[in-house]
Amino acid sequence: MANPCGNVPRRPRSSIMGGIQQFTSALMNVFPGHRPNRTFIEIAKSHGFTELKSVGDCEKAEQWLEKMEDTLEAMKCPLNEWANIIGYFIQGNARSWWKSMNESRPLGSWMTWAAFRKHFIAYFLSPSYRLRKRQEYLEFRQGDLSITEFDSTFRRLARHHDGTYDNPQAQMDQAMLALN
């Protein structure tokens, strides 16, 4: 049978509809305040979020939290949703901590990220681990590290020292001491 449209092949209807749906979806995502069709938890899963299932390995818990923070930031997830999204990925023995945190909040209230992080660190990172990391920060020196390696290590360690983490001048002073 001859093509009724001449030499131009016809597209199947499904690809036209799929194209229209993709175009509409792309337009909707451009407008401020529009949320994608997938939830942030679904997006987090697609980014490879892993579950934190146990208590006791401070290093693992800290690395897990940092990876989660980096991914949520890259996803451009609103900060007010971080605690609940990360809470979803706390499972196993660690789940009882998250449940008690939720039960201690007034109904309908949100946990700020700062509060979540503070409680997480207090519970999952032992006092001896935090003390060791603070001491490592205070004794850190550049040595043979490149400036890039120094900066990365310094910033990671600075998270463990309350006196300098939120104080740029104190952090600069400590960095000057640590440089060769």
pTM higher than 0.85: no
Q: What is the pLDDT of residues 130-176, one digit of tens each?
A: 999 989 988 999 999 999 999 888 888 887 777 666 678 888 888 88
Q: What is the pLDDT of residues 88-119, one digit of tens each?
A: 999 998 999 999 988 887 887 778 888 899 89
CB 114 within 8 A of CB 148: no
Nearest-angstrom CA–CA distance, 53 and 63? 14
* 90 beta partners: 52
**Number of Cβ atoms within 10 Å of the Cβ of 71:** 17
